[in-house]
Amino acid sequence: MTDGQRIPVIIDCDTGVDDALALLFAVRHPALDVRAITCVAGNTDVDGVVRNTLTVLEVAGAGDIPVARGAERPLIEPVRTARHVHGQDGMGDLGLPAPTRVPVDVDAVTLLRREILASPRPVTLIPMAPLTNIALLLRTHPEVTRNIERIVFMGGAVATGNATPVAEFNVWHDPEAAAVLLTAGVPITMYGLDVFKQVLVPAADVQRLRAGTDPSLRLAGELLAHRDPATSGDPTPTGGLGDAGAVCAVVDPGGLTTERLPVEVALAPGPGRGQTIVDRRPLPGESEIHEGTRAQPLVDVALGVDVQRYVKLWLTAVEGA
């Protein structure tokens, strides 16, 4: 595949066990041209995210992809990490050595603007973390949208949340930023918890990866084992490929079933804060009849996923078969 045929992508992450699985896939898949990676506070503090991201790229033997440090806290909320899921170091406490790679000396927003506008073809943005960097970018340099093909983000939920009964972690961590993302004015796909939780790698594949001689395969296996619902003891596992599924959706959109629906982030304080309210009603309700309709962004919401197809896609790229 020539450079002109590959999909230019930029990943915004909070690495993160499943962010790492996404990075391993993205740098290995021949259809993707990863032009930059930006880091934001989320699963762990932003310096930990930078370190983990560089470690993954190093173990994967990835090319020289610029990595930038971004926001160290959400727009309004304090930092609220997910170390109970991702370990104290944010990457499963696997005892990995510190990376020799270093981040670029510009901040995430600057790198995002530079790489989006420099891309010869419109970029697909893949945020898989709290959306702080993306909101800052859209508000600081709105002109970037002219060279964004689409945004495929991991976040939100149609049905059930994880951070709260109704809110998914990435949106809950920075709800205002998510609201800014939804009004970006470019095509958006929401790869939410409804599909995120479904894509689980069979135990036999995990064991094969763990037993491999290639360090990047072993890392993939250890990360997956960390997220294995059977071994993690997590009664409501978010395990499996996690964020990597959103990258699969960029390579192979046909594996997702989506519907274009109005989506709004609940911003009011209280138990609903951070919920992505997805309007699946077939007809307007009394609210619209009596009070009129409100302009709401339309989003391609993932409602179904071909699990085997994405697992095979991910394994094939990561194992180089």
- Residue 127: CB partners within 8 Å, gap ≥ 6? 11, 12, 133, 134, 151, 153, 154, 155, 170, 181
Q: How many residues bind ligand BDR (CB under 6 A)?
A: 16
Going by C-alpha positions, the residue among 224, 304, 285, 297 that lies closest to residue 20 is: 224
- How far apart are CB 19 and Ca ion at their closest, in Å? 4
Residue 165 burial class via C-beta count within 10 angstroms: exposed 0-12, middle 13-18, buried 19 and up: exposed
Binding to ligand BDR by residue 178, rule CB under 6 A? no
Stretch that binds ligand BDR, among 166-174, 208-216, 291-299, 306-314 (CB under 6 A): 166-174
Judged by CB under 6 A, which stretch of 67-75, 203-211, 238-246, 253-261 contacts ligand BDR? 238-246
Which pair of tokens denotes residue 263?
């989506």
C-alpha 78/C-alpha 95 separation (Å) is 28
**If binding is defined by CB under 6 A, does position 228 make contact with ligand BDR?**
no
Indicate whether 85 belongs to the interface with ligand BDR (CB under 6 A): yes
> Does residue 44 belong to the site contacting ligand BDR (CB under 6 A)?
no
Choices 44-52, 93-101, 136-144, 236-244 (CB under 6 A): range interacting with ligand BDR: 236-244
Cβ proximity to ligand BDR, 59 vs 153, nearer residue: 153
* From candidates 127, 221, 242, 274, binder to ligand BDR by CB under 6 A: 242
What 3-state class would DSSP assign to 176? helix
Query: Which amino acid, residue 65?
Result: I
Span 102-161, contacts to ligand BDR by CB under 6 A:
128-129, 154
Give the DSSP H or E segment for 23: helix 17-28
| Secondary structure class of 115 (helix, strand, coil) | helix
Q: Which of 216, 218, 196 is nearest to 208 (CA)?
A: 218
Q: Does 191 bind ligand BDR (CB under 6 A)?
A: no
Residues making contact with Ca ion (CB under 5 A): 14, 16, 19, 128-129, 243
**Of the listed pieces 16-24, 72-80, 92-100, 203-211, which binds ligand BDR according to CB under 6 A?**
16-24
Q: How far is the CB of 130 from ligand BDR (least distance, A)?
A: 8
User: Which of 16, 48, 175, 245 lies at the binding interface for ligand BDR (CB under 6 A)?
Assistant: 16
147 binds, among ligand BDR, Ca ion, none (CB under 5 to 8 A by kind): none
Q: What is the C-alpha to C-alpha distance for residues 114 and 144, in angstroms, rounded to an integer?
A: 9
Positive/negative CA dihedral, 18, 22, 24, 25: positive
The length of the chain is 321
Q: Which partner, Ca ion, ligand BDR, none, binds residue 82 by CB below 5 to 8 Å per kind?
A: ligand BDR
Residue 37, class by beta-carbon neighbours within 10 Å (0-12 exposed, 13-18 middle, 19+ buried)? buried
Helix (H) or strand (E) holding 127: strand 123-127
Token pair 């997702």 is found at: 256
Q: Tell me whether residue 27 or residue 157 sits nearer to ligand BDR (CB atom).
A: 157
The smaller minimum CB distance to ligand BDR, of residues 92 and 103, is found at 92
User: Does position 238 bind ligand BDR by CB under 6 A?
Assistant: yes
| Structure tokens given for 314 | 């991910």
Residue 290 beta carbon to Ca ion: minimum distance, rounded to whole angstroms: 40
3-state secondary structure 241-302: CCCHHHHHHHHCHHHEEEEEEEEEECCCCCCCCCEEEECCCCCCCHHHHHHCCCCCCEEEEE
Should residue 168 be labelled a site residue for ligand BDR when binding is judged by CB under 6 A?
yes
Q: Which of 67, 82, 206, 224 binds ligand BDR (CB under 6 A)?
A: 82
Which residues sit at the interface with ligand BDR, rule CB under 6 A?
Answer: 16, 18-19, 43, 82, 85, 128-129, 154, 162, 168-170, 238, 242-243
